[in-house]
Structure 1
Amino acid sequence: MLPLSPEVISYNSKSKNGLPISTLNAIHKMNDINPRVYPPFKGCSIEFDYYNKVIDSAYSQFVLAAGEAEYDGIVFIPRIRTGGTDKLLKSYLKVLSVVMKLKILIVCEDSTKSAWTESFEELADVLYLDESYDNNTPNTYIIASIHYYIIQLAPKFIWGFNSRLAYLLIGTYGASLSQYTDIWVVTFAHWIHEISYREFGMIHDYMTSCNDHIKYIISDNSKFVNKLNKQYNLEVDKLIHIPSPNSLIPIEFEPKVKREKIKILWASGIEWNKGVDTLSTIAEELYTRGVHLHIDVYGTPKNNKGSQLLNSFNNEVKSLNNITYKSAFNSFDGLDPKDYDLFLFTSMIEGMPNILLEAAENQMFIIAPDVGGVSDLIINRETGFLIKDSLDSGEYVNRIDDFINLDEHDFNKIRSNLVNHYNKFYTVENAHGLFKSIIKPAL
Structure 2
Amino acid sequence: MKEYSVMPRYEKFLRFAQRVYHRLPLTQETKWRIRRFILPVLLSLRQENPSIGEVIKAALAPSAPLRDQTREARLQRLLLDLAGHGVRDVSHIIAVPFMGTGGAENVALNFAKAVREIHPERHVLLVVADRAHVDERVVRLDGIHVVVLRQFTDDDSYALKQSLLYDLILAIKPEVFHNINSEVGWNVIIESGERLKRVAKLFASIFAFQFGEDGKTKIGYAAYFLQPGLPPLTALLSDNQRFVKDARVEYGLTGERAEKLKAIYNPSRASTDDWRAQALDRISRRHTELAGKRPAFLWAGRLDKEKRIDLLVKLVQECPHFDFYIYGQAVVDSEEQLPNLPNVHVMGPFASPLELIAERPYTGFIFTSKWEGMPNILLEVGALGVPIVAPTVGGVGELVSEPSGYPLPEKPTAEDYREAMESMIANPAAVEARARAMLDLIDGRHTWPRFVEQVKGLEGYGI
| Interval of TM-score (by shorter of Structure 1 and Structure 2) | 0.7 to 0.9
Paired residue total: 413
DSSP-derived class of the 1:119 partner: coil
1:299 shift after superposition: 4.3
Q: Equivalent residue for 2:276?
A: 251
1:353 to 364, 375, 378: 375
Question: Following TM superposition, by how much is the alpha carbon of 1:378 offset from its aligned partner in structure 2, in angstroms?
Answer: 0.7
Aligned to 1:3: none
Aligned to 2:350: 330
**Distance across 2 between alignment mates of 1:57 and 1:283:** 55
Q: Distance in 1 between matches of 2:322 and 2:374?
A: 28
Establish whether residue 114 from structure 1 lines up as the match of residue 128 from structure 2.
Answer: no
Q: Deviation string for 1:285-313 (max 9, x for gaps)? A: 555xxxx6543344434588534x32xx3
In structure 1, give the amino acid aligned to 2:356.
L
- Indicate the residue corresponding to 2:35 in structure 1: 22
Shift in Å at residue 28 of structure 1? 4.0
Match of 1:373 in 2: 395
3-state SS of 1:159 partner? strand
Between the aligned partners of 1:113 and 1:300, the Cα distance in structure 2 is: 14
Measure how far apart 1:228 and its partner are: 1.5
Mean CA deviation greater in 428-437 or 215-224: 215-224
Counterpart of 2:9 in structure 1 is none
Quick check: 1:300 aligned with 2:329?
yes
What's the CA shift for 1:147?
Answer: 5.0
Q: Give the equivalent residue in structure 1 for 2:151.
A: 131
Pair 1:397-2:415 in alignment: no
Measure the CA separation in 1 of the matches of 2:328 and 2:304: 9
Return closer, same or farther for 1:168/1:40 CA change in 2, 3 Å cut-off: farther
User: C-alpha separation between the residues in 1 aligned to 2:109 and 2:252?
Assistant: 30
Q: What corresponds to 2:182 in structure 1?
A: 163
Q: What is the rounded CA distance, in whole Å, between the counterparts of 1:435 and 1:43 in structure 2?
A: 38
**Aligned position for 1:48:** 61
CA–CA distance in 1 between the matches of 2:54 and 2:405? 60
- Indicate the residue corresponding to 1:225 in structure 2: 244
Q: Which residue of 2 aligns with 1:208?
A: 227
Structure 1 residue 122 displacement after superposition: 3.7
Q: CA deviation at 1:76?
A: 1.8
Cα distance, 1:20–1:257 mapped onto 2, change above 3 Å: closer
Cα distance, 1:22 vs structure 2: 2.8
Q: What is the deviation of 1:400?
A: 2.0
Q: Distance in 1 between matches of 2:147 and 2:310?
A: 42
**Secondary structure of residue in 2 paired with 1:189:** coil
Give 1:421 deviation, angstroms. Answer: 0.6
Cα deviation code 1:81-103 (max 9, x no counterpart):
33332122223322222455342
Residue 42 of structure 1: how far off its partner (Å): 11
Q: C-alpha separation between the residues in 1 aligned to 2:436 and 2:197?
A: 45
Partner of 2:303: 270
Aligned-pair CA distance for 1:27: 4.2
Q: Do the aligned residues in 2 keep the contact of 1:61 with 1:133 (CA within 8 Å)?
A: no
Shift of the 293–122 alpha-carbon distance from structure 1 to 2, 3 Å rule, reads: same
Q: How far does residue 376 in structure 1 lie from its aligned partner after superposition?
A: 2.1
Query: Are residues 1:422 and 2:442 paired?
Result: yes
Residue number in structure 2 paired with 1:57: 72
SS in 2 for 1:76: strand
Contact 1:256 1:412 in 2 (8 A): no
Encode CA deviations 1:183-224: one digit per residue, 9 max, x unaligned. Answer: 100112322234776322233222333211111111122222
Structure 2: runs of 5 or more not aligned: 1-23
Does the 8 Å CA contact 2:153/2:161 hold for their aligned counterparts? no
Per-residue CA deviation, residues 232-280 of structure 1 (Å, 9 max, x unaligned), is: 2333421121222223456223223424453322333333333333334
CA distance in structure 2 between the partners assigned to 1:104 and 1:50 by the alignment = 29
2:88 aligned partner: 69
Amino acid at match of 1:169: V
Deviations 1:347-381 (A, max 9, x none): 2223332322221121111111111221122122x
> Larger deviation: 102-111 or 339-348?
102-111
2:68 counterpart letter in structure 1: V
* Contact kept in structure 1, 2:325 and 2:346, CA below 8 Å: yes
In 2, Cα distance between the equivalents of 1:420 and 1:178? 40
SS in 2 for 1:346: coil
Post-superposition shift, 1:159?
Answer: 0.4
8 Å contact from structure 1 (residues 270, 302) kept in 2? yes
Aligned-pair identity (%): 19
The residue type equivalent to 1:364 in the other structure is V
- Distance of 2:162 and 2:298 partners within structure 1: 49
For 1:407 and 1:144, the matched residues in 2 are separated by 55
> Mind listing any 5+ residue stretches in structure 1 that lack a counterpart?
1-6
Is it true that 1:105 corresponds to 2:130 in the alignment?
A: no
**2:312 is the counterpart of 1:279:** yes
- TM-superposed deviation, 1:436: 1.0
Give secondary structure in 2 for the equivalent of 1:229. Answer: helix
Distance 1:374 1:229 in 2: 19
**2:387 matched to 1:339?**
no
- Aligned equivalent of 2:208, options 169, 174, 189: 189
The answer to whether the Cα contact below 8 Å between 1:80 and 1:116 also exists between their aligned partners in 2 is no
Question: Match of 2:34, as an amino acid?
Answer: I
| 1:93 maps onto 2:126 in alignment | no
Partner of 2:10: none
